[in-house]
Amino acid sequence: MSNQPDRIIIFDTTLRDGEQSPGATLNADEKLTIARALSRLGVDVIEAGFPYSSVGDFEAVKSIAETVGTADGPTICALARATENDIKAAGEAIAPAIKGRIHTFIATSDIHLQYKLRKTREQVLETIPKMIGYATTFTEDVEFSAEDATRSDREFLYQVVESAIAAGAKTINLPDTVGYTTPEEFGSLIRGLKANVPNIEEAVISVHGHNDLGLAVANFLSAVQNGARQLECTINGIGERAGNAALEELVMALHVRRQFYNPFFGREPESEAPLTNINTKEIYKTSRLVSNLTGMIIQPNKAVVGGNAFAHESGIHQDGVLKNKQTYEIMDAESIGWTSNQIVLGKHSGRNAFGSRLRDLGYELSETELNKAFVRFKDLADKKKVVTDWDLEAIVNDETQQAPTIFGLELVQVSCGDNARPTATVTIRTPNGDELTDAAIGTGPVDAVYMAINRVVKVPNELIEYSVKSVTEGIDAIGEVTIRLRHEGNVYSGHAANTDIIVASAQAYINALNRLSAALQEGNKLNPQTATVAQ
């Protein structure tokens, strides 16, 4: 019996592996916002987190399962190491979802067995059926990953996979954990499984890969040609170290090159049927949302969603595109939801028009959130002649997707000039409701603001990144500020938008400090790859 789907299953791990990017920590509300966006995007499976890692992660996964895990929504998945405590937490967290999955894993490469797990191959083979069997008591949908599969001994890996399927795993995932393999090697690995694992047709073959050598997407496409039918990826390719395979690149490669990939699915080359369930028009919006909430800026030359992806500087290219877009563009910007045909709002636009446009852009706001965003919109409309969709997105993301409110920015005022010493005065609302004011001198206005905030907040940190960019063109454009702080080896990000770049800088810093403070209150959570399993 074959369980192979006739299309690609998109398994999104932005909320789990993506969040392991340094500084990309998300709170529960932000995770839920991204999960809703992923559902609109059309992903098949959302890996919502690692519930055993912390109480906060458990509650976030449970909330996503309750809210997004509907009958017509995606499967909600939780990660668990191959231990009873991990699996129990995962099973309880996904319980509210109509379709829930437990994704359990154990390392299979000799280097991981010797130095991380300190287990023998025999012990691993003994653990796998027990833990998969335990996982099936919570859900029939169990996925098993052989961590570091691409550096594992092939014959041992075949034994592991056969055992996992026999124990009840419906999906077998082959992670390129350290981004080590090449496209031909990945394809060969899958061919080897299909030739040497007798029950392989009873499970869906999945791949997970990192981009350490810049080969993640190429590796996945090779895997597809050789029989992989689930791709584990993240929005914008965020993730550990150099990141994961990028969802938008994989989806658009399969979309643009359908004629090439169709035969691998038994289809006629000319078939127009999509190879994934992704609504490509939601790609750009989802990409921007994830970038804003994680503080992970998208490089301008990033494929598909980068700022230069559809820009042409060369006169020859510009001339060709004006005559026929297909001369130098293999896909339309509109196909990923990036359109220049934006509806323009102004200071005379009412609340209904504002709310209607936000719904058209895919935002689902509560009455309170809508009211807060509308106040910001009216304030912006008084300062700018026209307000574009990009401005609206910046307003909504800035106003409704904030970090935990521990410290609040009540006032920021600066004095600077050519022959003056930059001075800043700030008023901060503390967690107990007091308003404290202090001032400081810095090397520039932003430095002075940050020095003044530090005098009040007194949370040790190191500023490691500060960036600013305009949302639209013109001197009245909204400026978006993203910063990253480091504290005891952990990185925390902050993001804010305002027509006043000093105010945006101050708010971004407060947001990052709030994330840092919240993390200190909650305590560090486990990383599934580096946490030691109790022996």
Q: For residue range 188-231, what is the model confidence (pLDDT) as tens digits?
A: 999 999 999 999 999 999 999 999 999 999 999 999 999 999 99
Which of 177-181, 308-312, 474-478, 497-501 is predicted with the least confidence, judged by mean pLDDT? 308-312
Q: Is the pLDDT of residue 401 over 70?
A: no
> Is residue 326 pLDDT above 70, yes or no?
no
User: Which of 470, 419, 426, 476 has its CA nearest to residue 447?
Assistant: 426
0.75 surpassed by pTM: yes
94: its two tokens: 């996904």
The confidence score (pLDDT) of residue 312 equals 43
CB atoms near residue 388 (< 10 Å): 19
290, 178, 168, 181: which is closest to 228 by C-alpha?
A: 181
Could you identify the residue written with the tokens 């909330």? 63
Which stretches of 173-299 are DSSP H helices? 183-196, 216-225, 247-256, 258-261, 283-294
- Mean model confidence pLDDT for the chain: 90
CA dist list (Å): 373 to 24, 26, 139, 370: 24, 21, 41, 5
Tell me: pLDDT of 313 over 90.
no
More confident residue, 270 or 30: 270
527 in Cβ contact with 86 (< 8 Å): no
CB within 8 A of 396, min separation 6: which ones? 358, 363, 365, 373
CA distances from 262 to 8, 245, 271, 273, 459 (A): 11, 21, 7, 9, 56
Q: Judge residue 462's burial from the number of C-beta atoms within 10 Å of its C-beta, 0-12 exposed, 13-18 middle, 19 or more buried.
A: exposed
> In 3D, which of 93, 114, 115 has the Cα closest to residue 103?
93
Whole-Å CA distances, 130 to 47, 163, 170: 23, 10, 15
Whether residue 244 is annotated as binding a ligand: the answer is: yes
487 assigned binding-site residue: no
Give the ranges where 463-528 is alpha helix by DSSP (H): 501-522
Specify the 3-state DSSP secondary structure of 4.
coil
Q: Residues of the chain with pLDDT > 90: what percent?
A: 66
Q: What is the mean pLDDT of residues 123-135?
A: 98
What confidence score (pLDDT) does residue 521 get?
82
Helix (H), strand (E) at residue 64: helix 55-67
* Coil, helix or strand at residue 383: helix
pLDDT at 218: 98
pLDDT the model gives residue 395: 82
For the beta sheet containing 490-498, the strands, ordered from the edge strand earlier in sequence to the opposite edge, are 462-470, 479-487, 490-498
**pLDDT reported for residue 402:** 62
pLDDT greater at residue 308 or residue 140: 140
**Would residue 519 be called left, alpha or beta, if left means φ above 0 and alpha means ψ between -120 and 50 degrees?**
alpha
Averaged pLDDT, 41-70: 97
Determine the pLDDT at residue 318.
42
Residue 314 has pLDDT above 70, yes or no: no
* Residue 344: predicted pLDDT: 65
The structural domains of the chain, ordered by start, are 9-248+275-294 (3.20.20.70), 351-400 (no CATH), 408-522 (3.30.160.270)
Q: State percent of the chain over pLDDT 70.
A: 92
Question: How far does CA 365 lie from the centroid of its chain?
Answer: 21
Average pLDDT, stretch 87-112? 98
pLDDT of residue 361 exceeding 80? no
Query: Lowest-pLDDT range, 396-405, 422-431, 452-461?
Result: 396-405
Calpha distance 95→78 (Å, rounded): 10
Residue 469: exposure state from Cβ atoms within 10 A (0-12, 13-18, ≥19): middle
Question: 2-50 pLDDT, tens per residue?
Answer: 577 899 999 999 999 999 887 787 888 889 989 999 999 999 999 999 9
Residue 210 is labelled as binding a ligand: yes
pLDDT at position 5, please? 82
Q: What is the pLDDT of residue 390?
A: 76
Work out the average pLDDT over 462-484: 88
> 514: annotated binding-site residue?
no
